[in-house]
Structure 1
Amino acid sequence: MIKVEIFKIIVVIGLAVSGYAHSQSSFSLPRTEVVDLVDTETKRVYEIHIQHPRHYSKKHKYPVVYMTDSPYTFPIVTGSARYPINSGKMEDLMFVGISWQKGHHGGLSRQRDYTPTPSSPGFKDPSGKAQEHLNFIRNDVFKYIEGRFNTDPARRTYIGNSFGGLFGAYILSKSPALFNNYILGSPSMWWDSDYMMQQQYDLGLNYEGNIFISVGALETKKSKSTQHDMVLGAQTLYSLLAKNKSPALDVELRVIPHANHETAFPTAAIQGLWWLFEVMD
């Protein structure tokens, strides 16, 4: 009899907890919506995350911050920017996160979409479709965002981390003017035997832009967090971009003390945004 009563109590508690859980509202980011976009070239479908500016007005053209690896980067970037924007110390921005292909493994999607060549020692395909993904951003993402919202195409910012940073370096080598600003965290310049370290970054004497490169001080071969010298990769990219740069181009390199590959990006994101969008008194 006692066992039966105890069983009844457990069932009641379980139902109460279940009911409590179902009664709670899920957490969502403020002013944020999610849409699916089809890549008109490849027919792949990508989830796009959009956070509207805090004080959106059709009378004002807003800078847009675009980022890859959105499931990881979007909450970090928007969260870190929320306080300085709300306090009026950073410009009001629109944020757009581009996720991985829907129905596809995230790791394989990013490996395919963000890499410039179809192979790298130790990696298997899919890879090397950076140009296809760049076409998607240029032809589909920009068209959708700039067709719906009052944005300033001359003030686009790209944020990418790791493979996303490598993809940013690829954009800089092929179509730098697509973005006015770049924030590249721990770019994987080692891909395919340092392929992107051997490319030309001729941005032109008329290119006006700002490029923020960062990397954790512990992102070296001596660290357990990476097999590659990410610090050397970031330094090399900085040198290539700073070489023969136009007077209107500003390039910044920051090595984050005590940070490794797993922890460097949040600091890179907010420091890069602050460097670009601080409201000067």
Structure 2
Amino acid sequence: MMALCACAVTTAAPVPPPLAPPLVPYVLENTEVRDIRAAALHRDYQLFVALPDSYATSGRRYPVVFITDANYAFPVARSIASRLHKHAGLEEVIVVGLSYANGESGNYSRRRDYTPTVSRNGGDRSDMPGRQQAFGEAAAYGRFIATEVFPLIARQYRADMDRKIFVGHSYGSLLGLQILLTRPDTFDHYILGSPSLWYDRGVMFDREKAYAAGHRDMPASIFFGIGSRETLAPGKTRSRAEERFDMVADLRDFHGALAAHRYPGLTSTVKVFADEDHASVFPLVLTHGLRSYLKRKQ
């Protein structure tokens, strides 16, 4: 009789695949991030800073572009400014991106910081749970730029603070208009794309009239840009209420009102870009706006 042997059968453990090398994040060259406390606003922000290629070796000072909605617009502006220098011979610039408030969504932060009033048309619901939507703090945010952002940039970089450029789009352009109609000499050049002039039933038209009543000059250079498709929706009657506004017509009306005052210190241009809409027009506005101000290399 044969004895049965219960023998353990062993198999080699599978060899794990070699670990893939860790992915390296893509970093924009010559860029920095600086934290900044907005003391009067009791909020924290970041500044995204792009330095020109020649910054490390030149020793000279550069014009400064301050751009809103930095989470989207900063890398676009940095790239366009660099290409305009390399391929069109325009001056190099420092680009400073103005971020949204730390811990807040972009929509929440920009609606509060970029709008001049609490709209009488009502507002969108907050996208931040537990926090009521906020509007109407553009004046305070503009003071933050002038009194806290400017000094930091002047201390830390070789910035020509006599040549400051503001760039905004949509609500960002409302912020620019708030500054323009309060202290126009805060910036030397304004690039304002697709301003939301319908906001709060056209409140910026009222602000423009109030400025004109108290001033004989507006020392500013302005480039307005907008897409030709930013017009009234078919079948709608024009007004300055949500979904019934014509942004192209509003911008032409606003520009016409500025021009009618014949301010000796004001230079203002409007360009309507064919076949572009609110989402697509910004890079063109920025490109043409920078070209209208920056000098060419001699």
So what's the TM-score if we normalise by structure 2? 0.82
Aligned to 1:249: 266
Question: Secondary structure at the residue paired with 2:164?
Answer: strand
Q: Deviations over 1:8-45 (max 9, x none)?
A: 69x73xx65xx24x2x4221222110111100101200
Query: CA–CA distance in 1 between the matches of 2:94 and 2:40?
Result: 26
In the alignment of these two chains, the number of paired residues is 268
Query: Which residue number corresponds to residue 209 of structure 1?
Result: 220
Partner of residue 39, structure 2: 40
Query: Does the 8 Å CA contact 1:197/1:236 hold for their aligned counterparts?
Result: no
Secondary structure, in 3 states, of the residue corresponding to 2:100? strand
> 1:141 maps to what in 2?
149
Between the aligned partners of 2:138 and 2:108, the Cα distance in structure 1 is: 13
Structure 2 equivalent of residue 155 of structure 1: 163
CA distance in 2, matches of 1:109, 1:210: 27
| 1:196 and 2:192 matched | no
Is 1:106 matched with 2:106? yes
Over the matched positions of the two proteins, sequence identity in percent amounts to: 31
CA–CA distance in structure 2, aligned partners of residues 113 and 136 of structure 1: 10
Q: How far apart are the structure 1 equivalents of 2:61 and 2:265? A: 22
Tell me the amino acid that sits aligned with residue 198 of structure 1. D
Q: Report the counterpart of residue 81 of structure 1 in structure 2.
A: 81
Change (3 A) 1:100 1:82: same
Do the aligned partners of 2:81 and 2:93 also contact (CA within 8 Å) in 1? Answer: no
Gaps of 5+ in 2: 1-10, 125-132, 235-241
Give the corresponding residue for 1:28. Answer: 27
> What is the deviation of 1:211?
0.2
Distance in structure 2 (CA, Å) of the matches to 1:250 and 1:100: 30
- Find the residue that maps to 1:46 and give its secondary structure: strand
Counterpart for residue 90 of structure 1? 90
Q: CA deviation at 1:246?
A: 3.1
Structure 1 segments unaligned to the other structure (5+ residues)? none
* Amino acid across the alignment from 2:178: Y
In structure 2, C-alpha distance between the alignment counterparts of 1:138 and 1:58, rounded to whole Å: 27
- Corresponding position: 1:55 with 2:54: yes
* Cα separation, partners in 2 of 1:247 and 1:151, compared to 1, 3 Å: same
Per-residue CA deviations over 1:205-252 (Å, capped at 9, x if unaligned) read 5654310001110001227xx933111222122122222233342111
2:174 to 166, 169, 186: 166
User: 1:58 and 1:240, CA in 2 relative to 1: closer, same or farther beyond 3 A?
Assistant: farther
Q: Counterparts of 1:274 and 1:34 in 2: how far apart (Å)?
A: 27
Give the partner amino acid of 2:230.
E
Q: Deviations over 1:154-174 (max 9, x none)?
A: 211000000001111111111
Inter-partner Cα distance in structure 2 for 1:88 and 1:55? 16
Compare 237-246 and 186-195 and name the one that shifted more: 237-246
Query: In structure 2, how many angstroms separate the alpha carbons of the residues matched to 1:120 and 1:100?
Result: 24
CA distance in 1, matches of 2:30, 2:249: 39
Aligned partner of 1:266: which letter?
Answer: P
The CA RMSD over aligned residues, in Å, is 2.5
Distance 1:240 1:280, change over 3 A: farther
**SS where residue 276 of structure 1 aligns?**
coil
Q: Which structure features the higher share of helix residues?
A: 1
**Among residues 139, 150, 171, which one is paired with 1:131 in the alignment?**
139
Checking the alignment, whether the CA contact within 8 Å between 1:50 and 1:94 is kept in structure 2 is yes
